[in-house]
Structure 1
Amino acid sequence: MTISYKWLSEYLPNEIDPQELSKILTSIGLEVESLEKFESIKGGLHGVVTGSVLEVSQHPNADKLKLTKVDIGSGSPLKIVCGAANVVAGQKVLVATVGSTIYPTNGQPITIKAAKIRGEESEGMICAEDEIGLGTSHEGVLVLPQEVPVGTKAADYFKPYTDYIFEIGLTPNRMDAMSHLGVARDVCAYLTHHNKQEVKPKSPFVNSFKADSHSLQIAVTIENKEACKRYSGVTISAVTVKESPKWLQDKLLAIGQRPINNIVDITNFILHETGQPLHAFDAAAIKGGTIVVKNLAQNSPFTTLDQKERKLDETDLMICNAEEGMCIAGVFGGAESGVKADTKNIFLESAWFNPITIRKTSFRHGLRTEAAARFEKGVDISNVVNVLKRAALLVKQVAGGEISSDIVDVYPEPQDKTQVGIKYHYLKKLSGKNYHPDAIKRILTSLGFEIVKEGIDELWVLVPYSKPDISLPADLVEEILRIDGLDNVEITGSMTITPAVDENILKENLREKISGYLVGLGFNEIVTNSITNSKYYTEAELGGAAKMINSLSADLDVMRLSMVETGLETIAYNINRKNKDLLLFEFGKTYHSSGVGDYKEKEHLSLYITGSRQQDSWKSKQEAIDFFFAKGIAAGIVRVVGLDTPSLQKKDINGFSLALAKTVNGQQLLTVGEIDPNKLKAFDIKQPVFFIDFDWLLLLKLVSNENITYKEVSKFPAMQRDLAVVVDKTVTFEAVEDVVEKTKIPTLQNLQLFDVFESEKLGKDRKSLAVSFTFLDEEKTLTDKEVDEVMDRLILTFERELSAEIRR
């Protein structure tokens, strides 16, 4: 929520310093996320003054430059080299003096310095309007009226608007604070409580409203009374649609709103002032002189203001005339009924629409408008007419014309206020603080609550219509706490707590352990969006996808089927910013559906690896990450959680040029693969990417089934032997491991491949695998003879099973 300091101050009884106001807002639950200065003209024209051109002559060394002398009222005239064709003696111009910084409409800021230009001194700059941010014209220097005094500060002449802008992090329930007036009400409640004297916001509403004539009457009928409980309107005739006055444009620009025309700008102004959305219709488009609030048939076509034709749902509430729809109620206007440059008569609408109806319509059509954001939280139904009167008078002020009808207010079933009670001991229990009953009443009444009943230990109040979220005693506790200030809750000298007993904490502990291990290896954890783009998947894959019904974006329309694509988006983002060496991991979910209402989630631990393990240095050469590095990381994770190193099998997986997998009881536990270059091309990635994926819940299950055992460190030394085995090129090290395992040697503790050698001297299609064997007997020291016998046995097995030759 964006709030203007100057605008907000108009409703406060006394001006409060922006920094102090920021503290107050944060203390009452309207957390100020940022406070920044706003300038309608960046730099505020500081250092720019008016001057009179005394002389103009041709630059001796440049055909397109001129030498000028300019009087800025500071003593001797300034010598300024100027390139504008329209500069002549006698003009009043704007001069940026030496030391000032100007901010062009397009381009970087420029600090003015004394300089020599083609050999001639220049002591400033005569400015065009785009060079100081006043406009877009660069046709020549900006010429001022002759009556402007020399030496006048440009800031005093143009009076640029300056302000401070608060960015407030509103919680979703605080519809009452989605306006400047609502925020002012909270600030005044704070001042009332802490100063112990009543402070009320200045009301913008006046009692001077009256119709000038009754020349343009529009009737209103509500057919869907559940979706629209109150609808008010008024006509204003003979308006002039034009640019808004400066004060109105300044206010809107300060909070990031683009001025459109005086009529539309007033509706936007009122929305941000009061929180009540309005809509202005061209009265000529209201056929039959009737407004009908109703629903249209399913799939009825309707063209909105953005010139898009939309198919309506039968539950979309519409504002219609006697013949057709004109506006999607509370969400977006129609192309034909909106205010145009030639509009002469308008009908102003102010209404209360059902929040649920508006929210569904807004999401259904992807129209997230300012109006919808407020209606879907519930606007103040009691303020509908007051706001309409305020808007009508403002329209008359800025657009002329006359109010040509009385207020039409259709309110079939007036709403009763919600009644809520609170017991003082409950307040103490929930807040941790004893409040005096007078303080409680002062806070609540200053927020607009009405006291209807008091007791020794309780208070009953009527909730203001502006706070539709309040229905429980706990809601009142929240209101009291935030106005008093959470920092004002006393902390007792001692606290009594019951230690928590965590159950089933293996999942979190294991996640923490793996995360620590990976971070220690140089990995960074990422969190990517579970909602992704359907274009990443084939039609066959999308058959099992969980698709978004009301997607916020065309690029985010399906729940991800795989962890690969969102990880590749992150890699592409980093590579595009010259960060090419990436070790990333993520705990995330994929989603699948076999029909409406049948959805499944699967949890993953996924790793993405690309780039180089180390960069070039004086000590070592650059080393690129390869498939074996990724495989080693996967094996390391398995060992860290206490499982045996998995035996991986080659598997064909769509999207991978090479993949290995480990399956446990028919479920795929682990996948290690190199992503196919064709898939990488879709993300504009030109370097290899390796992917590791664990079925997280299956991994947890396997770990939970493992018993932790401790074995005493052996008192006897281990012995090591190396063996070079020449085998066919098609033989893998896994085959060597399988042969050794079948041999069942109890003293063999470990074997490790430490070299692979290929040469024509070994024979055609042959290679040498150098393997290290480690032997240990827990009962005694092994002798060389015993180890040699085991090695001989292994050699015979290799020769028999693998047709191997032993390199001597």
Structure 2
Amino acid sequence: MKISYNWLKKYISIDINAETVSGILTDIGLPVKSIKKIFYEDEIEDSILDVEITPNRTDAMSHYGIARDLYAFLKLREKTVYLSKPLIINERIHHHDKYHVQVFIQENKKCIRYSGMSIYGIRIEPSPYWLVSRLKSIGIKSINNVMDVINFVIYELGQPIHVFDMDQIEEKKIIIKNAERNTYFQSSDCITRKLDEEDLVICDAKKPLSIAGLINSIQSDIHLDTKNIFLGSACFSPILIRLIGRKHLIKTESQYLFERGVDPNQTASALQRTAFLIKSITKKKTYFHIIDVYPSPIYPSTIKLRYNKIRNVLGKEISINKIKKILSLLEIVIHSENQKYLFVCVPLYRIDVKREIDLIEEILRIYGINKIKISDRVKISPIPNCFYKTEHKIQKILFEQLICYGFQEIISSTMINEDKYSTLLNSFFNREEIRIVNPINQNYKLMRSSLLFGMIDCIEYNYNRINYYNSSIKFFEIGKIYYKQNDKFLEKTYLGIVISKKIEKKHVESQPFFYLKGIVEQIFQKSGINNYTQIFSKHPLLENSISMLYNNKNIVEIGKLKNNILKKKEIFYAEIDWEYLISIIQEKKIIYVPFSKYPTSRRDLSLLVDKTISFEKINQLIKKEENHVIKKIQIYDFYEGDNLPKSKKSYTVSFFFESEKETLNDKIIKYYMKKIESLLKKELKAEIRERK
């Protein structure tokens, strides 16, 4: 937002230069990105400050709002400074029935307050030089005296104002309501927009005049022959304005302010300010009439502010008198108090202050964050294992990790369709499905014996309704499975992770199996599970599946769904034994190992081995050598098929070398790589194809 230094000085008496103001604004959380010097035609110098304001600080999105913050900061430091409020019209407002406009609000939740002003007997003409130069300094082009005053007030107070030609308002009625379906609205930017019941419009008795005060119709705009005008100043629901703006591609200054929230107590005073300026620049005698509709008044919120909380958060004791003075300078009223706390009322224009911690932030902002000394020592209180190793805490951490990888959590039914999954049922070894005696739905009369069934339903549902042509479906679910084994009814908790994609030509993410395996390994790494082994398994529902074992006990199964239930779609599934995973994590002890200060080096090795040799066998063979400089072994690529003997397959394996004592040079790494090659040739009869 651009702020004129000379304009700012109209509200606050300061004897400091623009550079000093820039530093103060940055200190109080309104960073100034740049300062530009400009000269008016009469050679008056001004400085333009480009201020970066966060979306929740609508109170500072105006010249007066920034002056108000500057005043609080300087006054606390006992500077000689005064804050002047913009002058408004206070004289008796004339009333003529002929031009009296009535306002009706039909949508109280969408339009919180609406203030209107009728001004008649005006002349549309060029603006005076002072007004043109003020607007020009912040990049606003002059239009005419009425529009320039409105723009001036918007940038002065941060309150949007719209204007209509009053002679175009049918039956002198302003109605704020939802638009009718299939209403076509030709706006002043020469675009015809189609409206529906979700759009809020400002209408007269017959037609819409404006879309929520954001943009007018061509008929209602003022022109050179306009003699009477109607000004509107409103407070709308920020969420509604955001939706309307995005839906109809409307980007105006009013939309920018409305969607961030404006002060409902300022709608009428902004019109009085507008009336004052119009009266001061017009050469004709003008008459005004204000009407204000506020169906459900909003009252300031009351917040409890504890002195000990301030001390604990800031780490510094601030005197009670200074706290009270800061609150007073911020126009935060103390409702009641005692020795331990204050009850304060926050003005409505501070939409960002809703909690006690927000008040403490305001105190710190004005007090000065630079006055809070930071200790040279960092104190950490170790958290007991019992706190972060509860199942709920572990679940939250791992679920957040999956969400960060782009997975979505689902909750599927515990019942499955017997007819749909008849080819997959009864496949489990020593596991029998449990049948419901009196099912609600005859199609769903079996308890699920795997989370995969519900996931397939969810995948199918999404493919039928959402276009996933260029992306994968990635879901996860935690839940119980139910089955019968040795005449006993059993239930067990599993974490299921699934990836599904349409079968197409291979591209970057051509191996979902390895991607899914990598996700599981990341979960293991987060859980502190490192010494796991991998073996090929014969899962009844998955092909080319592997099992990951910890302490020789199965913890996860990963593979591709055998039966292609969903046509032209591949499904890759991992099923983690949740109860076993939790028990492993809870038994793990936390040990701190410092990072090596020496760099890691990577080497890739492509080799040809017998088809019966798994990567895990290669992995375990090299690990047995107990080589302390090999920190990690990873499979990079795998291939079997054309251009290879039928009994052979190719692996590309990545080796990561790192020492805690020295930087490993190329000579040392080559020595270890030769040892690895020699071991693979001797034990596995491997043929080395390429080294990188």
TM-score by length of 1: 0.51
Question: Is the Cα–Cα contact under 8 Å of residues 473 and 500 in structure 2 kept in the other structure?
Answer: no
Residue 490 of structure 1, CA deviation? 1.9
Matched with 2:9 is 9
User: What is the CA–CA distance in structure 1 between the aligned matches of 2:300 and 2:223, rounded to whole Å?
Assistant: 40
User: What is the CA–CA distance in structure 1 between the aligned matches of 2:14 and 2:619, rounded to whole Å?
Assistant: 70
1:710 matched to 2:623: yes
Mapping for residues 617-696 of structure 1, pairs under 5 Å: 665=560
Question: Is the Cα–Cα contact under 8 Å of residues 192 and 199 in structure 1 kept in the other structure?
Answer: yes
1:260 matched to 2:143: yes
Spell out, residue by residue over 1:549-603, the C-alpha distance to the aligned partner (whole angstroms, 9 max, x if none).
xxxxxxxxxxx9648xxxxxxxxxxxxxxxxxxxxxxxxxx7799xxxxxx9989
Question: Is the Cα–Cα contact under 8 Å of residues 202 and 213 in structure 2 kept in the other structure?
Answer: no
Matched with 1:481 is 364
Mean Cα deviation higher: 217-226 or 186-195: 217-226
Mean Cα deviation higher: 263-272 or 223-232: 223-232
Matched with 1:469 is 352
1:738 matched to 2:645: yes
| Alignment counterpart, residue 230 of structure 1, candidates 88, 92, 113 | 113
Distance change in 2, residues 1:168/1:410 (3 Å): same
Query: In structure 2, the residue corresponding to 1:16 is in which secondary structure?
Result: coil
| Alignment counterpart, residue 166 of structure 1, candidates 43, 49, 57 | 49
| Alignment counterpart, residue 370 of structure 1, candidates 249, 253, 256 | 253
Spell out, residue by residue over 1:334-362, the C-alpha distance to the aligned partner (whole angstroms, 9 max, x if none).
21101112212111112222223222222
Residue 707 of structure 1, CA deviation? 6.7
Residue 489 of structure 1, CA deviation? 1.6
Query: In structure 2, the residue corresponding to 1:257 is in which secondary structure?
Result: coil
Spell out, residue by residue over 1:135-181, the C-alpha distance to the aligned partner (whole angstroms, 9 max, x if none).
xxxxxxxxxxxxxxxxxxxxxxx425653222222222111111111
User: What is the CA–CA distance in structure 2 between the aligned matches of 1:230 and 1:260, rounded to whole Å?
Assistant: 28
Matched with 1:203 is 85
TM-score by length of 2: 0.59
User: What is the CA–CA distance in structure 2 between the aligned matches of 1:4 and 1:244, rounded to whole Å?
Assistant: 19
User: What is the CA–CA distance in structure 2 between the aligned matches of 1:417 and 1:750, rounded to whole Å?
Assistant: 67
| Alignment counterpart, residue 359 of structure 1, candidates 242, 252, 256 | 242
Question: Is the Cα–Cα contact under 8 Å of residues 640 and 648 in structure 2 kept in the other structure?
Answer: no
Spell out, residue by residue over 1:114-138, the C-alpha distance to the aligned partner (whole angstroms, 9 max, x if none).
xxxxxxxxxxxxxxxxxxxxxxxxx
Distance change in 2, residues 1:246/1:668 (3 Å): farther
Query: In structure 1, the residue corresponding to 2:648 is in which secondary structure?
Result: helix
Matched with 2:267 is 384
Residue 544 of structure 1, CA deviation? 7.2
Question: Is the Cα–Cα contact under 8 Å of residues 750 and 775 in structure 1 kept in the other structure?
Answer: no
1:434 matched to 2:317: yes
| Alignment counterpart, residue 189 of structure 2, candidates 306, 310, 327 | 306
Mean Cα deviation higher: 246-255 or 158-167: 158-167
Residue 455 of structure 1, CA deviation? 1.0
Residue 414 of structure 1, CA deviation? 3.0
| Alignment counterpart, residue 320 of structure 1, candidates 203, 206, 214 | 203
User: How many pairs are equivalent?
Assistant: 471
Distance change in 2, residues 1:780/1:31 (3 Å): closer
Query: In structure 1, the residue corresponding to 2:47 is in which secondary structure?
Result: strand
Question: 2:29 is matched by which residue type in structure 1?
Answer: G
Matched with 2:301 is 418
Question: 2:648 is matched by which residue type in structure 1?
Answer: E
Question: Is the Cα–Cα contact under 8 Å of residues 154 and 160 in structure 2 kept in the other structure?
Answer: yes
Question: Is the Cα–Cα contact under 8 Å of residues 161 and 250 in structure 1 kept in the other structure?
Answer: no
Mapping for residues 53-202 of structure 1, pairs under 5 Å: 158-159=41-42, 162-195=45-78, 199-202=81-84
User: What is the CA–CA distance in structure 2 between the aligned matches of 1:463 and 1:780, rounded to whole Å?
Assistant: 77
Q: Any stretches of 5+ residues in structure 1 without a counterpart?
A: 41-157, 512-541, 548-559, 564-589, 594-599, 605-626, 645-662, 670-701, 715-731, 743-747, 752-772, 792-808
Question: Is the Cα–Cα contact under 8 Å of residues 544 and 592 in structure 1 kept in the other structure?
Answer: no
Question: 2:130 is matched by which residue type in structure 1?
Answer: W
Matched with 1:28 is 28
Question: Is the Cα–Cα contact under 8 Å of residues 241 and 341 in structure 1 kept in the other structure?
Answer: yes
User: What is the CA–CA distance in structure 2 between the aligned matches of 1:166 and 1:185, rounded to whole Å?
Assistant: 16
User: What is the CA–CA distance in structure 1 between the aligned matches of 2:307 and 2:11, rounded to whole Å?
Assistant: 33
Distance change in 2, residues 1:482/1:16 (3 Å): same
Residue 476 of structure 1, CA deviation? 0.5
1:344 matched to 2:227: yes
Residue 446 of structure 1, CA deviation? 0.7
Distance change in 2, residues 1:779/1:493 (3 Å): closer
Question: Is the Cα–Cα contact under 8 Å of residues 282 and 337 in structure 1 kept in the other structure?
Answer: yes
Query: In structure 2, the residue corresponding to 1:264 is in which secondary structure?
Result: helix
Question: Is the Cα–Cα contact under 8 Å of residues 263 and 399 in structure 1 kept in the other structure?
Answer: no
Of all paired residues, the percent bearing the same amino acid is 32
Query: In structure 1, the residue corresponding to 2:349 is in which secondary structure?
Result: coil
Distance change in 2, residues 1:178/1:750 (3 Å): closer
User: What is the CA–CA distance in structure 1 between the aligned matches of 2:175 and 2:680, rounded to whole Å?
Assistant: 96
User: What is the CA–CA distance in structure 2 between the aligned matches of 1:709 and 1:245, rounded to whole Å?
Assistant: 85
User: What is the CA–CA distance in structure 2 between the aligned matches of 1:4 and 1:601, rounded to whole Å?
Assistant: 57
Question: 2:227 is matched by which residue type in structure 1?
Answer: K
Mean Cα deviation higher: 378-387 or 401-410: 401-410
Query: In structure 2, the residue corresponding to 1:405 is in which secondary structure?
Result: strand
User: What is the CA–CA distance in structure 1 between the aligned matches of 2:111 and 2:172, rounded to whole Å?
Assistant: 20
Matched with 1:239 is 122
Matched with 2:547 is none
Question: 1:265 is matched by which residue type in structure 2?
Answer: D
Distance change in 2, residues 1:363/1:712 (3 Å): same
Question: 1:710 is matched by which residue type in structure 2?
Answer: K
Residue 443 of structure 1, CA deviation? 1.0
Residue 325 of structure 1, CA deviation? 1.3
Question: Is the Cα–Cα contact under 8 Å of residues 295 and 317 in structure 1 kept in the other structure?
Answer: yes
Spell out, residue by residue over 1:743-780, the C-alpha distance to the aligned partner (whole angstroms, 9 max, x if none).
xxxxx9999xxxxxxxxxxxxxxxxxxxxx99976599
Q: Any stretches of 5+ residues in structure 2 without a counterpart?
A: 389-393, 405-461, 476-496, 502-506, 523-529, 535-557, 562-569, 573-614, 628-638, 654-673, 688-692
Residue 388 of structure 1, CA deviation? 0.6
User: What is the CA–CA distance in structure 2 between the aligned matches of 1:376 and 1:38, rounded to whole Å?
Assistant: 32
Residue 3 of structure 1, CA deviation? 1.8
Question: 2:217 is matched by which residue type in structure 1?
Answer: G
User: What is the CA–CA distance in structure 2 between the aligned matches of 1:440 and 1:162, rounded to whole Å?
Assistant: 38
Residue 706 of structure 1, CA deviation? 7.3
Question: Is the Cα–Cα contact under 8 Å of residues 319 and 329 in structure 1 kept in the other structure?
Answer: yes
Query: In structure 2, the residue corresponding to 1:12 is in which secondary structure?
Result: coil
Matched with 2:104 is 221
Spell out, residue by residue over 1:606-653, the C-alpha distance to the aligned partner (whole angstroms, 9 max, x if none).
xxxxxxxxxxxxxxxxxxxxx9xx99xx9xxx9xx9999xxxxxxxxx
Residue 737 of structure 1, CA deviation? 3.7
Distance change in 2, residues 1:741/1:224 (3 Å): closer
Distance change in 2, residues 1:263/1:477 (3 Å): same
User: What is the CA–CA distance in structure 2 between the aligned matches of 1:591 and 1:749, rounded to whole Å?
Assistant: 28
Question: 1:168 is matched by which residue type in structure 2?
Answer: V
Question: Is the Cα–Cα contact under 8 Å of residues 57 and 351 in structure 2 kept in the other structure?
Answer: no
User: What is the CA–CA distance in structure 2 between the aligned matches of 1:341 and 1:250, rounded to whole Å?
Assistant: 22
Query: In structure 2, the residue corresponding to 1:466 is in which secondary structure?
Result: coil
Mean Cα deviation higher: 254-263 or 384-393: 254-263
Residue 546 of structure 1, CA deviation? 5.9
Question: 2:20 is matched by which residue type in structure 1?
Answer: E
Mean Cα deviation higher: 289-298 or 393-402: 393-402
Matched with 1:404 is 287
Question: 1:327 is matched by which residue type in structure 2?
Answer: S
